Amino acid sequence: MDPAQFGYSTLPMQHAPYGPILPKSLEGSNSGKVAVITGAGQGIGAAISESLAKSGASIAILDLNASNLEQTMKTCSAFGGKVEAFGCDVTDQNRVEEVFAQVEKQLGPIDVLVNNAGILDQRPFMMGTFDGFWRQIEVNFKAPLMLMHAVLPRMRDRGHGCIINIASRSGTVDVPMTLGYVTSKAALIRATHTLQLEMELDGLDPAIHLYALHPGGVRTNMGGAGAAEDVKKKYGDITDEEFYKHLFKDGPPLCGQTCAWLATGQGKELRGLFLDCRQDVSKLLEYGRENLLKENRNKLTVNFIDGYCNEP
């Protein structure tokens, strides 16, 4: 894979919290809100939890094992808000419903949902089991849909809510050895676009606003672990390629603070779209929702040759 085929930005990219998304700028902006964050035990999920807690939200942090949440809970509790931790397999519908009921009992109605939990098995499709491939679809796509299906009626009844799906640039490009990951992330981006349109049908737009967010180039345990030994033996260790090292230069707080900013509602004009947290939100807002939609920006699309287009 040659990253150059996907293009390089000519506008400056952000690689750390800036201006409108700085903690100081968002201080108290999410006070009174209850946020649920999945995959909160480390990395990006922990940073999202910390940013929402800093901005005043009460938070429910979820991870497969509750023991993974100890440090996140300690860090977030230091900001003075309420923090509750739950062990939860996000693919288990019964457990999700149990956790949501407990969250509402202990913290109150859910205002913000951040679907962050995800897995990656870096191997060619034909070298893995189908179950291993499908598990990625279940965690990365089925689980977010299931959580949204559980929370949206609650948000509908209260007339407001914010959902942030942590997607990936990988969902917009073709990356060999990551079929389960890119497929699930592309599906999540498309679901975000479509669900926002359904909010319009029910008169819930923009009161309920959804986003698909690329967290930037963050070298997490998942993304930085590389391929298994059997894959390396056949194809080499692609983590040693020089270009790979330069793709990961963003810290988790950039995504965390972007999520906190979106949760405030200040980014409603960007609802339903795929956002890259390295792109300045002020620039996107300045471009305007009307132009973004008219030009089909920040959405999954297909570019046919001139003269051809999809029939209505």
HSE of 162, CA atoms in CB hemisphere, 13 A: 27
Distance CA 268, CA 184 (A): 25
What are the pLDDT digits (tens) for 79-88? 999 999 999 9
What are the pLDDT digits (tens) for 8-53? 889 999 999 999 999 999 999 999 999 999 999 999 999 999 999 9
Task: Out of 11-25, 37-51, 125-139, 226-240, pick the least confident.
Answer: 226-240
Candidate CATH numbers 3.40.50.410, 1.20.1250.20, 3.30.230.10, 3.40.50.720; the one for domain 16-295? 3.40.50.720
Which residue, 278, 152, 153, 271, is CA-closest to 212?
271
How sure is the predictor about 297, in pLDDT bands with cuts at 50, 70 and 90? very high
Which residue, 278, 137, 135, is CA-closest to 218?
278
Q: What is the mean pLDDT of residues 186-209?
A: 98
Average pLDDT, the chain: 93
Q: What is the mean pLDDT of residues 108-131?
A: 96
| Residues designated catalytic | 181
pLDDT for 224 beyond 60: no
Percent of the chain topping pLDDT 90: 84
pLDDT for 2 beyond 80: no
Query: What are the sequence ranges of the domains in the chain?
Result: 16-295
pLDDT for 241 beyond 50: no
pLDDT for 232 beyond 90: no
How sure is the predictor about 230, in pLDDT bands with cuts at 50, 70 and 90? confident
| Whole-number pLDDT of residue 129 | 96
Number of residues written out for the chain: 312
| Whole-number pLDDT of residue 156 | 98
Residues with Cβ within 8 Å of residue 217, at least 6 apart in sequence: 247, 248, 249, 250, 278
